[in-house]
């Protein structure tokens, strides 16, 4: 796992690069499919949903054509065939989503909402909010990639709000959570958003740049990411 996306000083400002690679893993790993099925069996109504507009415009057919996979009746059905979590924005609003591995939020509560609403809970979000409308339009004309990362005591792919957060006990029980986010145009008014979640033991990929970035985070960001105790613990270790 490369760590080039970890920056110091840390910022939540929009940071992305143009992307021209594959949108999905065409040979999805079984652990993702199996875990998605488990999460959907537990809380489908919170993870998967579509608006009437999404159905009326037959946007799922367009998404299937873009991904070059068979057509499905619902975005949930499509999502359990791929590793990535998936969402569709139309005219700047979220019209469909199937996020089996959310990070501290309930996906379907955002249906029909714009980017500003989606970014509202994020700490130090001023530039994110201000750029939301421009970003939505940009996503309908360019393919882009960005990364969101965190250090956590949760080893699950899902960080649903109801999942228990284990107490910090040792370096070996810390995990690095990475979301690789790709957005690509579906048509002039619609964009597809894909997120691949990876969770690996922190000791397997440890690099001093992780702590340097954490040490540069504002108190708001540390609190938002549940990193206050973890920051103190990591600074007390001798690497």
pLDDT tens by residue, 109-161: 999 998 777 766 676 667 666 667 777 888 899 999 999 999 999 999 999 99
SS3 87: strand
Whole-number Å distance between alpha carbons of 224 and 209: 20
Whole-number Å distance between alpha carbons of 9 and 205: 20
- The two beta strands, 17-18 and 144-152, are antiparallel
Return the pLDDT at 81: 97
Instruction: Reply yes or no on whether the pLDDT at 203 is more than 80.
Output: yes
Return the pLDDT at 205: 97
Return the pLDDT at 234: 98
Straight-line distance from the first to the last Cα atom of the chain, in angstroms, rounded to the nearest whole number: 20
* DSSP state for residue 109 in the 8-state scheme: G
227 pLDDT band, cuts 50/70/90, is very high
SS3 118: helix
* DSSP state for residue 27 in the 8-state scheme: S
Mean predicted confidence (pLDDT) in 82-101: 97
14 pLDDT band, cuts 50/70/90, is low
229 pLDDT band, cuts 50/70/90, is very high
59 pLDDT band, cuts 50/70/90, is very high
Return the pLDDT at 20: 96
Note whether 14 and 135 are within 8 A (CB). Answer: yes
pLDDT tens digits along 173-190? 999 999 999 999 999 999
Q: How far is CA 165 from CA 171, 175, 220, in A?
A: 15, 12, 19
Number of other CB atoms surrounding residue 23 within 10 Å: 18
What tokens were used for 166? 């284990």
């Amino acid at each position: 796992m490369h760590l080039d996306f970890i920056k110091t000083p840390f910022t939540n400002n929009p940071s992305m690069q143009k992307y021209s690679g594959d949108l999905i893993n065409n040979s999805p790993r079984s652990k993702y499919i199996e875990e998605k099925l488990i999460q959907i069996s537990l809380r489908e109504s919170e993870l998967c949903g579509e608006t009437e507009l999404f159905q009326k415009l037959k946007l799922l057919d367009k998404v299937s054509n873009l991904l070059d996979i068979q057509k499905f009746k619902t975005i949930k059905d499509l999502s359990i065939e791929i590793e990535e979590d998936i969402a569709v924005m139309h005219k700047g609003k979220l019209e469909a989503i199937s996020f089996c591995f959310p990070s501290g939020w309930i996906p379907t509560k955002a249906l029909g909402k714009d980017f500003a609403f989606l970014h509202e809970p994020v700490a130090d979000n001023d530039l994110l909010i201000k750029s939301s409308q421009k970003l939505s339009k940009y996503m309908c004309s360019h393919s882009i990639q960005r990364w969101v990362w965190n250090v956590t005591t949760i080893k699950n792919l899902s960080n649903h709000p109801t999942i228990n957060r284990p107490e910090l006990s040792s370096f070996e029980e810390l995990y690095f959570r990475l979301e690789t986010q790709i957005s690509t145009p579906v048509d002039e008014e619609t964009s597809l958003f894909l997120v691949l979640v990876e969770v690996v033991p922190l000791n397997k990929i440890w690099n001093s740049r992780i702590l340097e970035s954490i040490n540069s985070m504002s108190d708001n960001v540390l609190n938002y990411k549940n990193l206050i105790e973890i920051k103190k613990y990591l600074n007390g270790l001798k690497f």
